[in-house]
Amino acid sequence: MSLPLVVILAAVVLSALLGVLAGRRQPKNLEAWTVGGRRFGVVLIWLLMAGEVYTTFTFLGASGWAYSKGGPAFYILIYGTLAYTISFFLLPVIWRLGKAHGLHTQSDFFLHRYRSRALSVFVALVGVAAIIPYLQLQLKGLGLIVEAASGHSVSSGAAIVVSFLLTSAFVYSSGIRGSAWVAVVKDVLMLVTVIVVGFGVPSAYFGGVGEMFRALHAAHPGHLTIPGTTGTMDVGWVMSTVLLTGAGFYMWPHLFASAFTARDAVTIKRNAVIMPLYQIPIVLVFFVGFTALLAIPGLRDGDLAFLEVVRATYPPWFMGLVGAAGAVTAMVPASILVLYASTLVSKNVYVPVFDPGASDRKVMTLSRAMVLVITALGLLFAVLLPNALVDLLLIGYDGVSQLFPAVVLGLLWPRLGARAAGAGIVTGLAVVVTLVFGGHDPFLGMNAGFVALVANFAVTVAAGLATRREVPT
């Protein structure tokens, strides 16, 4: 076994073992498994949310966009901060409802607020449909990172299978608490790797970050401006995408439900204040992508820029550290995605449709069993059909963002009913599918998902005014 492979394997196994041990003393019930008993403090919930947010995209996608697209990549820095600002006001209210009424999932919130099982099941199906391609993306990224970091001594498929089986083991045994504790390892590895590479690579090739930017401007004068190397990602696209992704950020089922794990509402607010600090590592990843454009021009796949420039700059053992960081960075969000997809399918789809009187113990058993099913589906798509869900992934973020009007207006407007909220969501999803699959994204220079969100708001408000049906909250 090569040294990089030993480092990667050790990190993956130790992380999984920590995840399994994390749930040793917690009660074996749905409350503990899905929301950690609502006892997470500032540090643990910060690490958990960061573990959900900073995925393989941190290594591959951000550097790839910096390498191949240039200026439009900076939207990534903006929308995260906007999302954290929204969470300061939105998530504490959601947490209070969750605490008062024993909510575990996003669909539980919709069921409580709108008193509609049909809407709750529909929201759960939308969430699962978005989660599965997102999960497949994490697995594919994990395979690419481990295969490249190990010098191709282990195949992408083997890396995915081993890592994901270990991930499903600690999800099955420990639930959300296991994911939170593995996030500690993930954050340490990721931060060390990104800091060393983010400052080290520009220094190795140009003597520092400032000289790197001067060289980049001289070689590619328009690269750092909008629309960069693209012809469609102009100012209108950037601004509409920032608004869409900022609003839709916490509409992902796993991010929405993570608010329920907090000890109190103050913890949520403190987390919103410190989460923007995690934008700093993304800036360092941009440095790597910009340096790679100058040092290794002509890559066919810009998403490999981070790995290729590290391979050309550092010794093999450090590539092992990068592979370990990348693998664990994929395992944490993958574990949370599996957890909440399993819970949504069992609690919010199967039970209300087929077994409305199921006890919490039975729901817990079903949810843990679904971990194995979701794991099998994820492995099937990631190993055998790696590109089968690309089209679904394109509309995943656009799709979950269409839940935003129903959540926000549902909290602010007591008279808004389920039919109005559902009409808005269906309208938004229909516009997204029509524009994206019809090849009209961007549409009039704007992100198609943002256009759909505007239509969604308009239909929700119009239908709400037309029905004016009071709903208890």
Q: What is the pLDDT of residue 386?
A: 60
**Tens-place pLDDT, residues 219-247:** 999 999 999 998 889 999 999 999 999 99
The three-class DSSP label of residue 443 is: strand
**Tens-place pLDDT, residues 174-184:** 999 999 999 98
Q: What is the pLDDT of residue 387?
A: 58
- 92: cis peptide before it, omega within 30°? no
Check pLDDT > 80 for residue 279: yes
Q: How far is CA 406 from CA 397, 421, 463, in A?
A: 16, 5, 12
Check pLDDT > 50 for residue 439: yes
The amino acid occupying position 251 is M
Q: What is the pLDDT of residue 385?
A: 65
Check pLDDT > 60 for residue 406: yes
- Split at pLDDT 50, 70, 90, the class of 472 is very low
Check pLDDT > 60 for residue 25: yes
Q: What is the pLDDT of residue 393?
A: 59
In this prediction, residues 112-126 reach a mean pLDDT of 96
In whole angstroms, what is the distance from residue 343 CA to residue 359 CA? 14
Check pLDDT > 50 for residue 389: no
**Tens-place pLDDT, residues 40-75:** 998 889 888 887 777 777 778 889 999 999 999 999
Q: What is the pLDDT of residue 392?
A: 56
Q: How far is CA 305 from CA 62, 64, 117, 404, in A?
A: 10, 6, 47, 34
In this prediction, residues 113-128 reach a mean pLDDT of 96
Greatest mean pLDDT among 93-102, 131-140, 147-156, 462-471: 93-102
Any residues with CB less than 8 A from the CB of 7 and at least 6 apart, and which? 317, 320, 321, 323, 324
- 227: cis peptide before it, omega within 30°? yes
In this prediction, residues 416-428 reach a mean pLDDT of 96
Q: How far is CA 72 from CA 65, 379, 393, 397, in A?
A: 8, 33, 20, 17
Q: What is the pLDDT of residue 70?
A: 94
Check pLDDT > 60 for residue 429: yes
Rg (CA), the chain: 22
Check pLDDT > 50 for residue 282: yes
Helix (H) or strand (E) holding 283: helix 279-295
Q: What is the pLDDT of residue 87?
A: 95
3-387 adopts what CATH topology? Sodium/glucose cotransporter (1.20.1730)
Q: Which residues pair with 40 in a beta bridge?
A: 262
Among 19-33, 247-261, 452-466, the range scoring the smallest mean pLDDT is 19-33
Residues of the chain with CATH 1.20.1730.10: 3-387
Check pLDDT > 80 for residue 391: no
pTM of the model: 0.92
- Split at pLDDT 50, 70, 90, the class of 90 is very high
Residues comprising the chain, all counted: 473
Percentage of residues of the chain with pLDDT beyond 70:
96
